[in-house]
Each structure stands twice: as C-alpha cells, then as structure tokens.
Chains A and B, each alone.
Chain A
Amino acid sequence: MLVQKYFQSERFVPDKDMDACGLFGVMNISGKRFGGEMAINAIKNMKVRGSGLGGGFAIYGLYPDYKDYYALHIMYQNKNLNAKRRVEAFLKEHFYMVYDEEIPTNPDITLFSPPIVWRYFVAPQKKNEELAVPDDEYVVSRVMYLNTNVDDAYVFSSGKDVGVFKGVGFPEEIADYFMLDRLYQGYIWTVHSRFPTNTPGWWGGAHPFNILDWTVVHNGEISSYGTNRRFLEMHNYYCTLFTDTEVLAYAVDLLMRRQGLPIEVVSKIFAPPMWDAIEHMKESDQKLYTTLRMTYAPLLMNGPFTVIIAHHDEMIGLTDRIRLRPITAGAKEDFVFLSSEEAAIRAVCPDLELAWTPPGGEPVVVRLNSKDHLLSVNKSI
C-alpha cells in the first residue's frame, strides 16, 4: 500500500492536481490508419481550453512493425542519465528488448525543460514462478515499479501498437516537437489540452494517461478522488501522479481488463443512474443496477468529468451523471469524433453527417467494424 510504503501517514500523500481541459478523439471504424492533422487542428481550435501547461496525444495502430511487443515510452526528467541506466538495467533483467531508440524530436521547437524520451520494444522475460503470471499483469507491475521506485524516470506508455506523446506546452507544440503529423499514423487519435490550476507543468503530469493499451484523456475534477484512490490501492494500484485521470485509468484497467466488464457496464459504475431512476426500472435492471452501485460504490466518479477512454478497437466518450462537463459526438462515413466542443469537430470535418450530444452517464462507444456509436444517438439531448 502506497501509504505504508512511502508515507508515515496518509496525511502526507500529495494533493491531487486540479485542471480543466479540452479533449478530442477521432477514430476510423474500419481501422484505416490516418495522420495527425485532424487531431492537431481540432485541439488548436479549442486553444482557450488549455493554458500551455500540458498537452498530449495517444495513437493506436502506431507501430504495426512491432505490434507484438510492448512499446514502452519512457521519459527521463532533467535528462537524468543515471535514471536511464537504472531503468535499462531493470528492463534487461525483466524483459527481452528487441529494439530501442530515442524518440525523434524537432530541434527547432523550444519547450519548457524537455526530458529525454526513449522508446523500447520489449517482451516479458519471466522466470520460474512468474511463468504463471499473465503478460499484462507482469508488465503492469514492472511499470508500477519503475514509476514508484526510480526517481526522474516515468513511463509514458506501455501498450502494444500504441504510444503516448505528451509534455508541457500547448498540444500543437507537443505535436510539432515530436513531429507527429510527419512521422506517425494510426486509426485512433486522442488529444488533450490542459489547464491546470494548482501545479506547475510537469511532463509526466500531462495527459493522455496510459496503462498497457488503455489511454485516458479527461476533463474535470473528480470530487470522489480520495475514495476512488483508496479503493484502487486495495487492488494494488498506486497513484503516483495524483491526478483524477490516473484514478480513471486504473479504474478502467481494473474493471475492464482484470474483471472483464464491458464499457456499457463500466460506464454505469462510473456514472450510475440515480436511485430514483433505478426504482422505476424493470425488476431485473433494478437488481443489476442496485448491485453494481452497492458493490462498486467506491468507484463512482463524482463531480464533473468528461473522459475519452481508448484501447485497441474501441474509443469511448462519457460524461458524469449530471453532465457537468461537455461532450459532443460527430460522425462522417468511417470517421467518428468525440470532442469537448462541436466547433472543433466541424473545424476539421466541415461536411459532418451527424452531430449529437449524449446525456450524462450515457457512453458513446465507438467500435471497430461496428455502428455501436449510433446507439447513443436516440438518447441524445
């Protein structure tokens, strides 16, 4: 437990970040890869939603040549080479490394205190008793170890065929810095622009937040943070960034990957219907929703939030149950968009076929080779 390990009392656990944000996500539901132009331009259109203290991108379908290997994006703060040596020694011990390189950056772009960012393509190197541990669990625990034990090293992303690029600056500056529009393609792009209110920029604190192939971009302040964090600690997720987004990402990982619940159920855990509404449901639903709320009460995400969660084959948008933060969805042919503002979608796709606003607690689920996202259209406001 985090408290046990690092702090004499919970009292010393740092405060969480508070921020407001702009979000955007776009997915091609037939799985066709495309460049970053739409994502970059859309988030630029919502400039006022960020303050230049954090921006980032998650891209799925990023490394088709290495798609069977975990792609670790690791940053070394203050260009701490000692941290890099420690991390690499650790990686050598626990993984087979097939390829590694520094992530190329554009030297013409000046950003606030950029770290070294390196990528490693690895496969788990399990020993004896670890053979029974599933790969994903193995990787998660090693990532947790690096994040909590090696100063100045921080794992940006750790999934297969997915990568996160983030840092301190406006998202378009981050895109320029990592040359995203020139170098990369993917079938899902999610973007985040950050407006923190209580922390100076830190590269690791930018979004998207990632664990394995799950990424989360999030706008809002979760008032239930303390309750959520404590529950997740019981399941061995240690929050090291102290952001709402981290809590959401771990909760998603716990519920969807480890417990195998589909997003339709998970969204009803994060943003459950009111008891008043449950009372008026048919009996089987009553039982389901009552049990969900009862069991997962500590994972109710209370307070304003909008979140775009993505993993392979899926991109999901969700707002809190009383809809205190905005989200809009749009679609044109094979492209489906999720955004804090409709204007940003229209800026990059002027001939949009459909735009709708899902109600609080109702997920928009965009799935590969399916039209599931349309399910939320007739519930829209």
Chain B
Amino acid sequence: MYSYLLPEFMIERLENRCIRCRVCERQCANKVHEYDGELDKLFSTEENCVGCQRCVVLCPTNALYVRPRVSDYRPNSSWTRDKMQNLKKQAETGGVILTGSGNDKPYRIYWDHLVLNASQVTNPSIDPLREPMELKTFLGRKPDTLKINFDEGEVKIESELHPNVPINTPIVFSAMSYGAISYQAYKSLAIAAKEFGTLFNTGEGGLPVHMRKEFGNNTIVQCASGRFGVDPEYLNSARIIEIKIGQGAKPGIGGHLPGEKVSDDIAQTRMIPRGTDALSPAPQHDIYSIEDLSMLIYALKEATNYEKPVSVKIAAVHNVAAIASGIVRAGADIVAIDGLRGGTGAAPLATRDNVGIPLELALAAVDKRLRQEGIRHKCSILAAGGIRCSADVIKAIALGADAVYVGTAALVAMGCTLCHKCYTGKCNWGICTQDPYLTKRLNPEISSKKLINLLKGWSHEIQEMLGGMGINAIESLRGNREHLRGVGLEEWELNVLGVKGAGE
C-alpha cells in the first residue's frame, strides 16, 4: 500500500440504519468494509475504496454513502490532486501508472456540440410507430457498379460481389476479450448480439470452441499482435475478421493480460500455457508497412475462402485520414476507427490520457478523404470510442460512419460504474475479473437482456430522430452533414467536421 496518499472517497455509514448484515463486507473485493464482532460494528478502510458504489446499492437499509472526498491539497490549477497523487505513487514504485476504462479528461466532446435537424412544413416528418423506419446496415466492400443482365424478363446480377454482413441496427459491441472481461460478461455480449441480429467482437482473447457454432455468425474475431487464439477454425467460424492495429485508449502500445488472470479456460482459448502472461506486442511483428498489412489481409481472406469481410482497426491519430485510405487500398473491407475516448481493460495513464485524437474529428476527416479519393464505397467505417447514447450514434452516422462500436456503454448496461480499476482484476460487478467469487455475480441470462434492451432502446430513439428528419432508412443519413449543425465550436473545428454553425 502507498503511504501518505489521500483517500479518494469517503464512506459515511449511518449507524442508526446499519443492521450489521455485512453485505458491504462480502461484496467488496477491495476489502473496504470490515466487521468487528466484539464491538458489533462495521469499520471502513477508505484508502481502499474505488468508488464503484456496489456496497451502496446493495445495502438493504440505504445506510451507506460513498462520495468523492473533498479534503484536498492547496488548490492549484497546474498541480492538481491527481497529478500529485500519481507522482507520490511513482516515487514509491518507480513504475508506470496504470488505469482502466476510457479517457476521463475534459477534452471537448464534439457530440455535445452538434445538433440534429428536423422536418418542418417543407417535408413531412415520419412517425416510426406508423411507418417503416429502417436501420438495417451492411458492413463490407460495395462494388463500383453493378452489371445486370436481362434474360427473358428475369433480372440477374452479373457482377461478382464482395462479402457483406447485414446488421439490424448500426450498433456493434466492440472488442472486449475473454480474459479482459469475465466469461459471463463475454457470453452476455454474444447472446445479445445474436438475439438482436448484430455483432460482438472477441477482442484478442479468442473464441471458446463451444461457442463457435452457436455464436459464430454474430462474431467479429480479432487477429491482433499477440495472435492469441488464432487458427483456421477460429477464423472460419466468424462473420468478420478484424486485424487490430491499434486501440483508441492506448495508441501505439500493445497489451498485457497478467498470468493470474489466465485460468484453464482462458489458457485453452488463447492457446497459451495456464498462468503465463499474455503479452501483445505494440506492433504486429509481420506488419511494419502498408504492404505487409495488405499481405495479412489477403492471407486471412485466403484462409477463409474470400467469404468474410476483413476489418482493420486503428486508433485515431494525427494523420488518420491518410492511413485509412492506405488501409482501404491495401484491401480492407471495413475500417474501424477508435477515438481518444475509447476504453480499455488496462493502459498506462499517460498514454490513455494524452495520445490520439477525438473520434468525431477523425471520423469526419476519414470519410472526407475516402470520398475525395473516390473509394468511400470500397469500405464500411466503424466508429468507436466514446459513443454514449443513441444521439452519439446518429451523429456519428451523419459524420460518415456506417455503424458504431460500443464498449463502455455495454459494460455500463451490465453494471459497470466506471471506477477505472479494470486492471486490478477486482471488479465488484463481475465484469472485468476472473475471480469466480466475483464473476458469478453476473448472470448472462439477465445481463444479456439488459444489453438487448440497450440496443432496443437506442434503436427506437434513432428511429424517432431519423423520422423527425424525414428520413426512413439509415443509409440516407450516412455522411449527410446537412442534418448537423455545430454549436459553440471554433471555425477550424467546423471546417474539419464539414458542418455549418447553427443558424448558418
């Protein structure tokens, strides 16, 4: 334990409400609460508290309050409390400060500065409860033109088509590996994706063999720098294959699953010995250039008989537009862009908070570049990193995305409270841990329903907003910046987004 650190949270226990049921004690993996039998009293070790609020919501008498602790060092805009605390931690260990989840720094959230259009008079808005309102989306490469043959009144398509994957709503669960998250959480995502007709992404952790038949059709499998769990059967069981180059939460670096988390099942799925660290290198060591990427793309296509679209996921970085264009030319059918606010199970704090650019700007730049080069139809764009609600989804589509990846939102739907301690393996919600005592708190049957409700709720909201704009198919909003206006943005930001200011 670190010395001389201020506790981040304070715990208030209303003694007159506490019935000594000791739920808080049992629920907390961080060992914050402790019962003293002699005194018949519960005590708290506030230093251990991560503020996940599990004890608060499970306390049957509402006796607990967990709040950010107000006491602080002398106010200083430059040397803030977290900067100083981190320094103190490093002074004791000489290590890298770790964190989990997504960037929490106050970078501008462009979604909150974009507003949507609605129809008034000159065209009618459409009521999604009375009229069809279509969200079906196809992920994959589209042909330049269609050659159509007319044979005795029968219309036949002559062109050879690239594989495309239909999804019922433009929302896909983003890459969260079995290992990073619990089997229960992983399976919940799979069930929900299957039930709703969309996709989930295995991350780099492989796809357990017993899940392949049932969920393969709703799976995006990843082939990342550690190549964990990759074999021909794995690739062929999936609907889409994704090459992971980078991740928004930690562009430019690899991953690390500590050996303690590598249980029998995880070891088998990842094809590594039990208890060994699963280290993913920063680059893919067979990809040092764009032509190498092209070779891997076609190797994967060969391995799957050209039946599956290949996606390439990159972190949004400074020259993302040019990189994306290269990726499409290298043969990728889907480009996934993960922005500055994308989540992670574990990342160095310095990287998470300082590397990469916001998704909104990256997305607008990529869409524009691909159109300028006349290759926008050759790929689908998946936007990831900080999609919090249906309005973010619809704005992302208007900025040019085909669909979005949601990770953090799905975790929150399952119980996550964004305590940012995913890397500790002590997730009290049973999501980001492999401790069976904790993971059994998550019942895939129940949590998959929550995920389905999330997809359902968001889809309804998207339909309402689409209908309001007088549009009844999501494809007619794609890249349609005419339906967006900026509020409170600088001129250069509007220029990059390609969006007019409100009232313009």
Select A291's contact among B161, B376, B471, beta carbons within 8 Å.
B161
Q: Tell me if A300 and B475 are in contact (CB < 8 A).
A: yes
- Is B381 part of the binding interface, using a Cβ–Cβ cutoff of 8 Å? no
Q: Which of A234, A284, A302 makes the CB contact (< 8 A) with B154?
A: A284
Contact assessment for B126 and A322 in the assembled complex, using a CB-CB cutoff below 8 Å? yes
Stretch in contact with the other chain, from B253-261, B404-412, B479-487 = B479-487
B426 within 8 Å of A (CB atoms): no
B155 an interface residue at 8 Å Cβ cutoff? yes
A265 to B156, CA, bound (A): 11
Q: Which residues of A contact B136 (CB under 8 A)?
A: 275
- Contact flags (1/0) for B86-127 with A, using CB distance below 8 Å? 000000000000000000000000000000000101111010
Q: Which one, A1, A275, A294, contacts B142 given CB within 8 A?
A: A294
Nearest residue (CB) in A for B364 is A10
B376-A225 in contact (CB<8A) = no
CB atoms of A11 and B498 under 8 A apart: yes
For B157, the chain A residues whose CB sits under 8 A away are 287-288, 291
Given A221-B123, A223-B471, A265-B148, verify A9-B476 contact (CB < 8 Å): no
Contacts of B374 in A (CB 8 A): 234-235
Binds A, one of B32-40, B171-179, B335-343, B489-497: B489-497
Q: Does B68 contact A (CB under 8 A)?
A: no
A318 to chain B, nearest CB (A): 16
Most buried by A among B145, B476, B482, B504: B476
Contacts of A304 in B (CB 8 A): 123-124, 470
- Residues of B in contact (CB 8 Å), total 51
- Smallest Cβ distance from A270 to chain B, in angstroms? 11
Interface contact B372-A4, CB-CB below 8 Å: yes
Range of interface residues on chain A? 35 or more
Q: Which residues of B contact A226 (CB under 8 A)?
A: 479-483
Query: Among A3, A4, A302, which residue has its beta carbon within 8 angstroms of that of B473?
Result: A302
Q: A9-B495, A226-B483 are in contact. Are A234 and B376 (CB under 8 A)?
A: yes
Cβ contact within 8 Å between B119 and A297: no
Q: A261-B148, A324-B123 are in contact. Are A225 and B478 (CB under 8 A)?
A: no
Look across to chain A and name the residue whose beta carbon is closest to the beta carbon of B367: A230
Closest to A284 in B: B154
Q: A10-B498, A221-B123 are in contact. Are A16 and B146 (CB under 8 A)?
A: no
Q: Do B494 and A11 touch (CB < 8 A)?
A: yes
Given A11-B498, A287-B157, CB of A300 within 8 Å of CB of B371: no
A12 vs chain B, min Cβ distance (A): 8
- Asked if A275 meets B134 with Cβ closer than 8 Å, knowing A227-B475, A227-B478, the reply is yes
User: For the complex, what is the distance from the CA of A84 to the CA of B156, rounded to whole Å?
Assistant: 48
- CB within 8 Å of B: which A224-257 residues: 224-227, 230-231, 233-235
A378 within 8 A of partner (CB): no
B138: CB under 8 A from chain A? yes
Q: Tell yes or no: B499 within 8 A of A by CB.
A: yes
Kindly list 15 other residue pairs between chains A and B, CB separation below 8 angstroms, not including A1-B372, A11-B481, A303-B476: A4-B372, A15-B482, A16-B482, A19-B122, A220-B123, A223-B483, A227-B476, A275-B136, A294-B138, A295-B143, A296-B146, A300-B475, A300-B476, A304-B123, A324-B123
Task: Give 30 A-B contacts (CB < 8 Å), ordered by A residue.
Answer: A3-B498, A9-B494, A9-B498, A10-B498, A15-B482, A16-B482, A223-B123, A226-B483, A227-B478, A227-B479, A227-B480, A230-B371, A233-B371, A234-B376, A234-B377, A259-B146, A265-B148, A274-B132, A284-B156, A291-B157, A293-B475, A294-B142, A295-B143, A297-B476, A298-B475, A298-B479, A300-B475, A302-B471, A303-B470, A304-B123
